[in-house]
């Protein structure tokens, strides 16, 4: 069972930006915040060639990978067509301006 863990205040993530969460095992997780203050979490590893998605440009509900420009859906971690591939997504929630991640 995964449990929600406190990560940071919402305002610690810039709008249309991200933060990296380091885990002891299992690789980094990227937490994104979009213009509507929705928060998403993905494995910080592009399905193309493992680019750090946290370093990409966030727009709408997508992030563009910094290495070769794939667009990845923030909700489901799926590459936007015509590219094919997906990366793992994680549950996140925001309560009272605090961000929690299910790990």
Partner 1 sequence: MSKPRLVLIGNGMAGVRTIEELLKIKPDHYDITIFGAEPHPNYNRILLSPVLAGEMTIQEIVLNELDWYKENGITLHTGKQITKIDRVKRKVIADDGTEESYDRLLVATGSTPFMLPIPGNDLPGVIGYRDIKDTDEMIETARLHKHAVVIGGGLLGLEAANGLKLRGMDVTVVHIGPWLLERQLDEVAGKMLQKSLEDKGLKFLLQKQTEMLVQGESGRVAAVRFKDGMQIPADLVVMAAGIRPNYALAEKSGIYCNRGIVVNDTMQTYDPKVYAVGECVSHRGIAYGLVAPLFEQAKVAANHLAGYGIGRYTGSVTSTKLKVTGIDLFSAGEYMGGEGTEEIVLNDPYGGVYKKLVIKDNKLIGGVMYGDTADGPWYFQLLKDKRDIHDIRDSLIFGQNLVGDVGHAGNSKAAEMADSAEVCGCNGVSKGTIVQAIKAKGLFTLDEVKKHTKAASSCGSCAGLVEQILASTIGGAYTPAALDTKPMCACTDHSHKAVREAIVARHLISKEAVFAGLEWKTPNGCDKCRPAVNYYLISSFPHEAKDDPQSRFINERAHANIQKDGTYSVVPRMWGGLTNPKELRAIADAAEKYNVPTVKVTGGQRIDLLGIKKEDLPGIWADLNAAGMVSGHAYGKSIRTVKTCVGAEHCRFGTQLAMSMGIKLEKMLFDMYSPHKVKLAVSGCPRNCAEAGIKDVGVIGVDSGYELYIGGNGGIKTEVAQFLCKVKTDEEVMEYSGAFLQLYREEGWYLERTCHYMERVGLDYIKGKILEDEEGRQAYYGRLLDSLKNARDPWESSRDEQAIKQFIPIKLEA
Check binding of 23 to ligand FES (CB under 6 A).
no
Q: Of these partners, ligand FES, partner 1, none, which one is at the site of residue 82 (CB under 5 to 8 Å by kind)?
A: partner 1
Q: Please report the DSSP string for 53-85 in residue order.
A: GGGSEEETTEEE-TTT--EEETTT-BBPTTS--
Count the residues of the shown chain that bind ligand FES, applying the rule CB under 6 A. 10
- Residues 32, 58 contacting (CB under 8 angstroms): yes
User: Of 32, 58, 70, 92, which one interacts with ligand FES (CB under 6 A)?
Assistant: 70
User: Of 29, 42, 65, 92, which one interacts with ligand FES (CB under 6 A)?
Assistant: 65
């Amino acid at each position: 069972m995964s449990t929600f863990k406190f990560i940071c205040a919402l305002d610690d993530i810039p709008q249309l930006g991200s933060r990296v969460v380091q885990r002891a095992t299992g690789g980094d997780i990227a937490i994104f915040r979009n213009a509507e203050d929705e928060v998403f979490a993905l494995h910080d590893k592009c399905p193309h060639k493992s680019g750090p998605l946290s370093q990409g440009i966030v727009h709408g509900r997508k992030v563009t990978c910094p290495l070769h420009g794939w667009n990845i859906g923030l909700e489901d971690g799926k590459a936007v067509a015509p590219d094919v591939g997906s990366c793992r997504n994680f549950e996140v929630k925001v309560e009272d301006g605090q961000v929690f991640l299910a790990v």
